[in-house]
């Protein structure tokens, strides 16, 4: 039975990955900060799908939390989903440097260290996959969040070019607006976001698993966001930055 480790697994896209992979017969290792909620979700998945579910409480914005998950990855897993992340409600100059560096720790350093922890075992066994959850924001200019997700995309593509093959795959997943707790937790006002731009977490995960099977290095779920990214690449970066700031507010 294959094993998948998912970070940020108690809600949103991470929880949707957990449900999909459990339904596919994966044993699960679920990582999140909230131990009580983590164990509750683990119990529900085990009861519903009859698979082994291992809760692993860890704060990936800390060295201790990262070390704990790195050690588990070195024991061997078949699929790593780097999903943990968060957003800021304010503009760049309105956010404390502590919060900005914590974001970089979680979005960049954690992705780097966990990917490096899992890949040697995958290469030795000649099988495995890594999905790094980025964002459509990676293709636009919008503060540290956008910059950190751009790093995730670049890192994933670079890693895929070095280690990917028919049996080892690395992919960046770049969803747009998804109906999750993400924006509420960040105290973001989403009232001005058009309804047609919202995606369901389950659909995002299904698209990701399809694109992973196809060997894609970057997955942009849904034709709406594929179009937005394609058009965005034709617009000068300065104009995108101005527009992105307005959307962000």
Q: Is 68 helix (H, G, I), strand (E, B) or coil?
A: helix
Q: What is the mean pLDDT of the chain?
A: 88
Q: Cβ neighbours of residue 145 under 8 Å, at least 6 residues apart?
A: 87, 88, 103, 107, 135, 137
Secondary structure of residue 30 in the 3-state scheme: strand
- Per residue in 196-244, pLDDT (tens digit) is 676 899 999 999 999 999 999 999 998 888 888 888 776 666 555 555 5
Local confidence band at 190 (pLDDT 50, 70, 90 cut-offs): low
pLDDT tens profile 144-170: 999 999 999 999 999 999 986 789 999
Order of strands across the sheet that contains 128-133: 53-57, 27-32, 3-7, 79-82, 128-133, 168-173, 218-219
Task: Kindly give the interhelix angle for 63-74 and 110-125, rounded to the nearest 10 degrees.
Answer: 10
Residue-level length of the chain: 249
Backbone angles phi, psi at 71, to 5 degrees: -60, -40
CA-to-CA separations, 176 to 146, 173, 242, in angstroms, rounded: 12, 10, 19
Q: Point out the catalytic residue in the list 145, 200, 226, 246.
A: 145
DSSP 177: S
Confidence band, pLDDT 50/70/90 cuts, at residue 182: low
Q: pLDDT tens for residues 65-79?
A: 999 999 999 999 999
Structural domain spans, the chain = 3-248
| CB 74, CB 117: distance < 8 Å | yes
Is residue 225 annotated as a catalytic residue, yes or no? Answer: no
Angle between helices 201-213 and 12-23 (to 10 degrees): 60
CATH class given for the domain over 3-248: alpha beta
- Is the pLDDT assigned to residue 188 strictly greater than 60? no
Question: Is the confidence at residue 179, as pLDDT, over 90?
Answer: no
Q: What is the DSSP letter of 92?
A: G
State residue 96's pLDDT score.
86
**φ, ψ at 80 (rounded to 5°):** -110, 125
Is position 149 annotated as part of the catalytic site? yes
Q: What is the mean pLDDT of residues 78-95?
A: 83
Catalytic, out of 49, 105, 149, 225: 149
pLDDT over 90, % of the chain: 69
| Token duo for residue 194 | 């058009």
pLDDT band of residue 247 (cuts 50, 70, 90) is very low
pLDDT grade for 195, boundaries at 50, 70 and 90: low
User: Which residues are registered as beta bridge partners of 4?
Assistant: 28, 79
Q: Would you state the pLDDT for residue 186?
A: 45
């Amino acid at each position: 039975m294959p094993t998948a480790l998912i970070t940020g697994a108690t809600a949103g896209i991470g929880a949707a990955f957990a449900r999909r992979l459990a339904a596919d017969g994966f044993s699960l290792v679920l990582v999140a900060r909230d131990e009580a909620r983590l164990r509750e979700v683990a119990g529900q998945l085990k009861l519903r799908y009859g698979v082994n579910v291992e809760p692993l409480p860890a704060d990936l914005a800390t060295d201790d939390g990262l070390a704990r998950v790195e050690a588990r990855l070195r024991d061997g897993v078949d699929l790593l989903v780097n999903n943990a992340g968060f957003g800021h409600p304010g503009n760049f100059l309105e956010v404390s440097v502590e919060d900005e560096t914590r974001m970089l720790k979680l979005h960049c350093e954690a992705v780097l260290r966990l990917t490096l922890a899992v890949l040697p075992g995958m290469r030795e066994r000649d099988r495995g996959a890594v999905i790094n959850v980025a964002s459509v924001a990676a293709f636009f200019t919008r503060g540290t969040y956008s910059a950190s997700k751009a790093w995730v995309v670049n890192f994933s593509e670079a890693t895929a070019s070095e280690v990917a093959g028919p049996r080892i795959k690395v992919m960046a997943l770049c969803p747009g607006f998804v109906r999750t707790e993400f924006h509420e937790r960040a105290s973001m006002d989403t009232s001005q976001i058009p309804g047609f731009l919202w995606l369901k977490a389950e659909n995002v995960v299904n698209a990701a698993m399809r694109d992973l099977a196809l060997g894609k290095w970057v997955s942009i779920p849904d034709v709406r966001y594929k179009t937005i990214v394609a058009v965005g690449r034709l617009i000068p970066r300065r104009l995108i930055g101005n527009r992105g700031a307005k959307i962000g507010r």
